[in-house]
Amino acid sequence: MKLNYKLTLLVLISCLYGITDAQNRIVGGTTTKISKYPYMLGILQADGTYFCAASLITRKNALSAAHCVVDKLVSELIVVAGVTDLGQKGQRRGVNRMWIPEGFDLTPNDFDVAVLEFRRPMVLGVNVAIIPLGKTRLKAGMRMRVSGWGKTSENGKTAATKLHTVVVQIIGYDKCASQYEKSNTKITSTMLCAGHGDKDACNGDSGAPAVVNGKQYGIVSFGKGCGRKEYPGVYTKIMNADVRGFIYDCIRQ
């Protein structure tokens, strides 16, 4: 299906995500080094404040969540690569263009994907590398790695300054949909669910890549709280044909 996309230079949509119970979702993880996950990117505001994560999918493009940037201007964004600690300078790039799909819906974060284009390409090296997108189908029970600089507990006051990582387990669509039905949240075909007891993504991890066997299969999207056993984390499903088509259409431009 051919989709029409919105080039987001100015977006006149208010972002309600931060005030809903579905938080912008690392809990139960460990600190790590960027050299182990060199595809990780941080998205900063113009004043240097971190607010979301992303992944490097080409030298000039980042992949993140639409809800992270839907209320932002490109002039407000800085993408940082090659850092374990957000206090490090790394490689910093301004954003030239960004896209979100016209089908993106804040309730319930359906089609939650965004592609950003840097003003200058990243320089690849030990701490900066491109991650390929996954192409094989995933099954319930498989393990998926998530990394980010988000909060390390649901009630934490601040995001982590150093990169954290955690492994979560993929949960079948029907089971996840049933669990979220209790909170009147619809799980759609663009979503993938994963959790592992009290292990989860959390506030500030939004936009981060979910990785299986060195390939990206998901984007941290939302969840009810962080690390709640009855509510797994929800990720944008890159294997969804419309999500994947959107990504490839953007990076070809």
Q: How many domains does the chain have?
A: 2
Residue 43 covered by a domain: yes
Provide the pLDDT for residue 225.
Answer: 53
Residue 5 covered by a domain: no
Tell me which residue range forms the domain holding 165: 143-237
Q: In whole angstroms, what is the distance from residue 77 CA to residue 130 CA?
A: 20
Residue 148 covered by a domain: yes
Closest CA to 233 of 245, 243, 185: 185
Do 79 and 158 lie in a common domain?
no
| 119 — pLDDT class (breaks 50, 70, 90) | very high
| 115 — pLDDT class (breaks 50, 70, 90) | very high
Length of the chain: 253
| CATH number of domain containing 174 | 2.40.10.10
Residue 60 covered by a domain: yes
Q: Note the pLDDT tens digit of each residue in 14-31.
A: 232 332 333 333 444 678
Do 121 and 60 lie in a common domain?
yes
Residue 101 covered by a domain: yes
Give the pTM. Answer: 0.86
Provide the pLDDT for residue 154.
Answer: 40
Residue 31 covered by a domain: no
Provide the pLDDT for residue 161.
Answer: 77
Do 232 and 153 lie in a common domain?
yes
Do 126 and 42 lie in a common domain?
yes
Q: Note the pLDDT tens digit of each residue in 26-63.
A: 444 678 999 999 999 999 999 999 999 999 999 999 99
Closest CA to 226 of 24, 60, 39, 1: 24
Provide the pLDDT for residue 196.
Answer: 64
Q: Which helix (H) or strand (E) holds 220?
A: strand 215-224
Report how far Cα 133 is from the mean position of its chain's Cα atoms.
13
Do 150 and 76 lie in a common domain?
no
Q: Which residues are catalytic?
A: 67, 112, 206
